[in-house]
Structure 1
Amino acid sequence: MKQMFCVLLGLVLIIGFSACAPKQKKVVDPGSERIYRITVSDLFGRISSEFWTIAKLEKLGVKTVSSSYFDRAMKFDDAELRVVSLLKIISQFELKSGEDAILLNCFDDYQGIISISDALKYDLQLATKIELGFGSSKPGWLNPLLVVVPDGKEPPFEERFLTANIRELKFVRSSDYYGPLIKIAKVSKETIQGFEVYKNNCLFCHSLKERGGNKGARLLQVYELEKETGQKKLLSDFKSFHHKGNADKQDVEQFVTRDQLQRVMDFLLALKRSEEKKN
């Protein structure tokens, strides 16, 4: 009887400890469970979408690459990226309306855009998995799908080649997308230069005229750029939010010089004056 009691007591203790023991969390790559949308339009402008998973994308062919471009921008060493060719994805669709670019809508309200000619010229890839070196810290926004410049290709060093956290690829005509902004940018040489810098580095977070992402502030509403104090505040905030040491690795300062930022303000001021005239 005593022996049976000890056995029963042991079982109770084992069950009790099992119930109280902390459960190990399963580490899941966010990209592995997500559904991605690819959107096209027909000759009549009717829009349709297909839904893709990582598994479906990788059936097009997958490989592991390194990217010195990515490592340089993110201050990483020897990151490994599991990628699918963007050109192979493009080839799955018949573009009937003169689409020449891909709008990249992201889970965090960032909005990138890549021209199809750039995808071809630089052999751009989409990462379905990101593996960082030991000790590297990954910011929350750095998830698949991610635009990747493979080694051996050297596009301009700009924010637009680092779009991450992509949820949708949407084929568009770049003239339609940029049209409302280009019209205003043609006011002067300085504003054209400012527009080029803005569209390649800033529009993804700071939307203008319903173009671009909404991850960042509406600059025309926040800053009084017609005043010197407003321009100084924008310069100060830019350095605070986008310097190379910021914790979230949003280092836009590496892509934009002080002179280029001044041209950006020229462009924004022209845009603001244009809107004021309409009102």
Structure 2
Amino acid sequence: MGNGIRRTSVDLRTDRAHGARIYDYILGGKDNYAVDRAAAEATKRIWPALPVHMRANREFMHRAGRYLATECGIDQFLDIGTGIPTSPNLHEVVQQVRPEARVVYTDNDPIVLVHARALMTSTPQGRTAYVEADLRDPDSILSAPEFRETLDLTRPIGLMLIAVVHFIEDDDEALDVVRRIIDVLPSGSYMAATIATDDFAPDMLAEVRRTYHEHGEALRWRSRAQAAQYFEGLELVEPGIVQMHKWRPDDPAALNIPEADIAMYGAVARKP
């Protein structure tokens, strides 16, 4: 696969849906399977706003990455739960501001590994790397040679956890693994995260979760109070924890999206 990608044997696990591939299908990609398309279509029948929600999540990642590079001076990033490459990817966003920026991508879906070359189109001044790893095993990320050789742990890092912690259904486990990663990051680092919630359409989203489970994929909704736990000990950037489309929107028209159409909180916070 080229420099910066650790290759393992690939089992695409096409017998069950995967969040990265459902996301790819909704965004118009081609790297998905019948089970993923079935899960997406079943979900859209229950919750027609699914494409609006997923596009809003992608746009939050772009805004948060651009904010960290532009306003906070962050030039190295760890993106966990990267998903199937869809341009512009994080490195394309931040290297527009900081051509020297370095990005380590990680995901646990083997199909992302297959397409990881698209994540390796760094500027000459910067660098990207890919690690096939699972958020549930943070040590496998933090000990990976690709991580250690690409990012400098003596300087601030931007941790991106975009639409990923809801795939860990146990609340204590999800908080623990995120905290273990934050603990390793130096002072002045930031975390940008989107946290799935059913606060705004609980009955409809209960059916969405059931549909995900029926197709073999995990999904855990969390309240605003639960979302806030991920940011404990960090300094929230204004406007704090809000529905993700309300976090520093580029277009004020985004605020017109009905609250029931967005099922994630978004926030950015600094590690003191």
Do both proteins adopt the same fold according to a TM-score greater than 0.5, normalized to the shorter chain? no
Work out which structure has the larger RCO, using CA pairs closer than 8 Å and 6 or more positions apart in sequence: 2
Task: Answer with 1 or 2: which has the greater Rg.
Answer: 1
